[in-house]
Amino acid sequence: MHINEGQQQDVPFASPETSDLHRLIFEEAADSIFITDPQGRLITVNPRTIQLLGYSREELIGMHLSELIQPDDLAREPLRLENLGEGRVVSRERRLLCKDGSLVWVESRVRRLPEGNILGITVDISERRQVEARSAQRTQELDALHKLTLAVSGSLSLDQISQAAMQGMLEATEADLVILFLHEGERLIFQGLLPPEKQPLLGAVDEHRVGECLCGLAVQEERSLSSADIHADTRCTWEACKKGGIRS
């Protein structure tokens, strides 16, 4: 079968007798199911894949799998589809890039079909990963809080306590940059950042408001928020971050 770019291939089923049942399973599956050509370009996806990633069917058809994988994950574990033998199932946990710039943790199981195409089934494991991450982060935060308590008990100034708090978060989260705001009503007032050499990149730090930009949204929703690409994420409205070369 010849497939024009952007055209979805019919899902290959074993026989006319089972095609209706298989098509129903494909369309109604709770997990993402996709088929690519031998090179890894999507030729068909089920509705759950569309829902998971936020792309339309037309946008997904023709995309290469590598375009949907978080770059660091792809660099650490390349696809290597050419090594995927027929009948062999390969399972990987990766982060996929959604259309809105967010990331979703998935476990993907792929296998090569007899005709050479590749079948993949992807399970959303974001909730499990979040539980694991929260547990690890809680341990790190408790350690940072202990260090901060020691700093406060030493009768330090507000500036010294702020520095101790930022240093603790920098070590606990292994972040590239920590910015500290003082929350006063609807205002978020800049207090400082670490490491200090990042300051020239950001320039003057404007006052933020609760509910605005990613920082303000995190305060409003009382939870951690992240973005894989702040340049494409409409929630990120602080231009200083973008001009300063911060990507995620």
Confidence of residue 4 (pLDDT cuts 50, 70, 90): very low
State whether 167 and 182 are in the same domain. Answer: no
pLDDT at position 2 is: 33
CA–CA distance from 153 to each of 4, 163, 174 (Å)?
69, 15, 25
Mean pLDDT check: name the lowest of 25-39, 78-92, 102-116.
Answer: 78-92
3 located within any domain: no
State whether 186 and 171 are in the same domain. Answer: no
Predicted TM-score (pTM) of the model is 0.51
Confidence of residue 123 (pLDDT cuts 50, 70, 90): very high
pLDDT at position 216 is: 81
Q: Where are the beta strands (DSSP E) in the chain?
A: 32-36, 42-45, 90-97, 103-112, 118-124, 178-184, 187-194, 208-209
DSSP for 171-188, written as a single string: HHH--S-EEEEEEETTEE
User: CA 228 to CA 248: how far, in whole Å?
Assistant: 5
State whether 190 and 237 are in the same domain. Answer: yes
8 located within any domain: no
Domains in the chain: how many in total? 3
State whether 87 and 138 are in the same domain. Answer: no
pLDDT tens profile 18-32:
577 778 888 888 999
- Domain of residue 231 covers 176-248
